[in-house]
Amino acid sequence: MIGVFLKELRENLKWATVIFGVMILTVGSLMRQHNPQLLFQLSEPPVLFFVPLAGLLMGVVQSLFETRADNWSFVVHRPVTRKRIFFAKSAAGLLLLIAALELPFLLTAAWAARPGNLRMPFQARMLLPGLAVAINSACYYFAGVVLTLRKARWFGTRLLPIGLALCCSVAVLLAPEFWQAMVFVLAGAAISAVAAWGVFATAGAVDGGTLPRLSLGTMIYAGTLAAAAAVVGFLGIFQSTTGWSWWRMDREGNVIHVVTTIHDNQRTFKVTSLSGERLPEFDGVDLDDPAHANSFLKFPNTLLDDNLIPWPARSQYWRGSYLTPLPGVISLRAVAKPGRRVPATCLFDVQRRIIDLYDSTSRTLIGTVGPAGFSPGRTPPREFFPGQPLNPSSQQNRHALAFESTVYWMELDHRRVRKFFDAPANDPIISIAELTPDTDPTVFIATRHRLLVMDPSGKLLFPQIDADISSHFYVPATLKSKQHLIVWSGPMTENVQHPVISEYLPDGKLLRRIEPQPYSFTVTRGLPRIAVAGFFYPLAGLPLYRPGLLGFLLQVPPQILWHFQLWLFVAGLLCALVTIVLGRKYGLSRTPMIGWTIAGALLGPGGVIAFLGLYELPVREECPVCGGMRLAGRDECSQCAAALPPPTFDGREIFEPGGMAGALAV
């Protein structure tokens, strides 16, 4: 086994050298840009595209020798078992592949950790993106082995096993935590390894056991789903009309209803009052034109509890993931009065709970800013901030830096922060938003039970308003012309069914409450795309097909969600019937027939394609009893259950039947 391992290392070292060289050139071109997010770029193109190709290359070239005439017999006929040979070959290939990919990542991290190279504090978590991408190459390595050795048609199911590796790549990009990405990657690599072992042990037949066949079927099914997703996405370009409706408010507090329609790349607007009357002053006006931005009331960011945002939006857009600087480092841009420029890059180091100032030219650390003031260079800060900032995704556009107990106003042009609000212990701060015009900025603070409107000095601009931030969102704004407070609110659900607009007087009294038409989204001529998605997507995933998710991924409006669900059940029924027909044709026994029928119903067309990829069409011969075509090699006819007739003798037999041999001996 050691000899096979060393032999594989020696023979494939040249391919690892090629991969290493290309990786060095790729990351070297990124290093010359001195982008502070360099280590996170290792999970983006072009690195993201090259690593899968490198894994496929190593798996293909290492297995290509076995595809030549009788070379597989030469490889496996050794004084060790086939399992040990496969393990040695795989260990050598993975070692070379991971080393060739990860070593450039580590060199890049060592360079980035040196002061003066990047305008960002180095954190150990910055190694995770490159590590995740490198480990994911193992899935492509085993996929390359399966593609090379498996005996299947190239225009059939031979390329589909790569779909599982593609699904693992998607998991790497979407998983918020590194450990979650590794669960998907290691599971995908284990399944691919078992399938590769089945292909290697049987010279491409994959008929040596249940587990290898199940693993290969999983890879084929994942490939089918990936192909179906690509087709559904491609059909999206043929949708001709898209429309959505919402409400807006002008500077005088009048609520208007806006219907936006896109047809043949032309955007049109229909503007009416809440009662449905047409407003001629908006005819022919492009409401998205920045020239008309001042015609409507500006709403700042939404006040909400980040914990109520469903995954994956919570990780990708609000809290960040291991593939982004968030949640480790927060970029600060609104750090001084409008018009004042700070000659430094300002970052909040979440792990150290301090603000770092980096020189924009030399990329060296100028110093840190904390609640107690400025500390030059690498002098330890005198005081740290109380925890992690709230709403980190919108922090770069805010002057206010909020925590559960305290809110600070940043004045980093003077290298200081100023505390202007302390929350009581029984009513912590949950969210914060800011409306910052050139003058007179306004800060909106949502605690667990209250909504406060303040200026940077800590003065209340409106009386406190009761709020339920534990289950609702709030979007506040101020109507300057009347000195009124406008609050748009609604429950934290996937679809806001009943939004409410509340208008408050300067003394805090409620002036009016309006329930406008909720947001709606429609897609015309999108039914073919929705039908294709419902036909190819598995019925087993029905509990996961939430309206919000389908609306985001497939643009499925809630009113035609039944169309998608109908095709799910139609596809399940058809695939179950097709599986029964194929099972009889392939001569399956009762138990496999029942299992594949259930799989066809729940998995859809992907399950049928996996069945076709795992079974070979059996040879048939004519039955001498019923004249039908029976399965060759079976003791009984699959049509009439007649026993296999005894063979006829013509004198050329080498071995005589047992009874005749005994008679001749006598």
What is the phi/psi pair of residue 136, to 5°? Answer: -65, -20
* Distance, CA of 68 to chain centre: 39
Our count of domains for the chain comes to 3
- The confidence score (pLDDT) of residue 321 equals 85
Q: Which two tokens stand for residue 49?
A: 């595209």
pLDDT of residue 663: 41
Are the C-beta atoms of 580 and 526 separated by less than 8 Å? no
| CA proximity to 331, closest of 299, 359, 357 | 357
Residue 542 CB coordination number (10 Å):
13
Q: What percent of the chain has pLDDT over 90?
A: 49
Structure token digits, residue 409: 């106003």
Residues 312 and 202 in one domain: no
| Residue 499: half-sphere exposure toward Cβ, Cα within 13 Å | 18
The pair of structure tokens assigned to 558 is 């809630």
Q: Which of 206, 226, 253 is the last residue of a domain?
A: 206
Residue 389 confidence (pLDDT) above 80: yes
Together in a domain, 363 and 487: yes
pLDDT tens, position by position, 436-445: 766 678 999 9
Strands (E) located in 152-265:
241-249, 255-263
Q: Same structural domain for residues 315 and 291?
A: no
Report whether 1 contacts 83 (CB < 8 A): no
Q: Quick check: is 400 in a domain?
A: yes
In a shared domain, residues 280 and 326: no
Does residue 194 or residue 615 have the better pLDDT?
Answer: 194
Give the mean model confidence (pLDDT) for residues 23-46: 92
Return the exposure string of 39-61: e unless at least 16 CB atoms fall within 10 Å of the residue's CB, then b: bbbbbeeebbebbbebbbbbbbb
- 393 within domain boundaries: yes
Q: Sorting pLDDT into bands at 50, 70 and 90, what band is 665?
A: very low
Q: Which run of H or of E encompasses 599? A: helix 590-603
* Mean pLDDT value of segment 363-378: 94
Say if CB 232 and CB 533 are below 8 A apart: yes
CA pair distance 452, 427, nearest whole angstrom: 12
Nearest to 105 by CA among 171, 163, 54, 181: 54
Residue 95 confidence (pLDDT) above 80: yes
**Per-residue CA distances from 143 to 158, 219, 603, 616 (Å):** 10, 9, 22, 21
Per DSSP, the three-state class of 196 is: helix
* Residue of higher predicted confidence among 58 and 549: 58
pLDDT band of 180, cuts 50, 70, 90: very high
Residues 476 and 364 in one domain: yes
Are 311 and 292 in the same domain?
no
Average pLDDT over all residues of the chain: 86
Strand intervals (E) in 283-405 = 329-332, 344-349, 354-359, 365-370, 373-376, 400-402
Q: Which of 419, 461, 441, 453 is nearest to 334 (CA)?
A: 441
Sign for the CA dihedral angle at 611, 615, 621, 626 comes to negative
Q: Of 514, 535, 553, which marks where a domain is finished?
A: 514
In a domain, residue 531? The reply is no
β-pairing, 484-491 vs 500-504, is: antiparallel
Q: Are residues 420 and 279 in the same domain?
A: no
Q: Kindly report, residue by residue over 56-89, the tens digit of the pLDDT.
A: 999 999 988 877 767 767 777 777 888 888 999 9
DSSP 510: E
| Cβ-contact 557, 239 below 8 angstroms | no
Q: Is the pLDDT of residue 596 over 80?
A: yes
Helices in 236-347 by DSSP H: which ranges?
313
- pLDDT computed for residue 422 by the predictor: 95
* Residue 409, pLDDT above cutoff 70: yes
At 211, the amino acid letter reads L
Domain boundary among 514, 549, 584: 514
Instruction: With CA atoms as reference, report the closest residue to 218 among 637, 501, 599, 651.
Output: 599
For 514-520, what is the mean pLDDT?
79
pLDDT tens, position by position, 337-358 = 877 888 899 999 999 999 999 9
Structural domain includes residue 486: yes
Task: Please indicate, yes or no, whether residues 27 and 69 belong to a single structural domain of this protein.
Answer: yes
pLDDT of res. 357: 96
> Assign residue 245 a region: left if phi > 0, alpha if psi is -120 to 50, beta otherwise?
beta
Mean pLDDT of 466-494: 87
This prediction's pTM? 0.84
Q: Is there a domain that residue 543 lies in?
A: no
Rounded-to-integer distance, Cα 189 and Cα 168, Å: 9
Give the mean model confidence (pLDDT) for residues 567-588. 91
For 46, the domain range is 2-206
Do 480 and 380 belong to one domain? yes
Q: Is residue 119 in some structural domain?
A: yes
Residue 607 lies in a domain: no
Q: Between 143 and 83, whose confidence is greater?
A: 143
* Residue of 508, 378, 397 lying closest to 450 (CA atoms): 508
Residue identified by tokens 């991969």 is 19
In a domain, 338, yes or no: yes
Q: Are residues 140 and 245 in the same domain?
A: no
State the pLDDT confidence band at 661, using cuts at 50, 70 and 90.
very low
The 10s digit of each residue's pLDDT in 271-327 is 888 778 888 888 777 777 777 767 788 888 889 888 777 665 565 556 678 998 988
C-alpha pair distances (Å), 215 with each of 8, 53, 210, 253, 415: 25, 22, 9, 62, 59
Which residue intervals of 47-115 are DSSP H helices?
A: 47-63, 71-76, 82-113
What is the DSSP code (8-state) at residue 645?
A: P
The least confident of 114-123, 226-235, 505-514, 591-600 is: 226-235
> Same domain, yes or no, for 372 and 506?
yes
Sheet strand arrangement including 450-454: 429-435, 442-447, 450-454, 465-466
Greater model confidence, 245 or 318: 245
- Separation of first and last alpha carbons in the chain: 55
Q: What is the pLDDT of residue 482?
A: 81
Flag the least confident range among 36-50, 109-123, 538-552, 589-603: 538-552
Query: Within a 10 A sphere around the Cβ of 615, how many other Cβ atoms?
Result: 18
DSSP string, 601-630: HHHTHHHHHHHHHH-PPPPEEE-TTT-SEE
Q: Residue 94 pLDDT more than 90?
A: yes
Instruction: Give pLDDT, residue 260.
Output: 83
Write the CA distances from 145 to 80, 173, 186, 225, 326, integer angstroms.
21, 24, 17, 21, 37
Q: 350 with 420, same domain?
A: yes
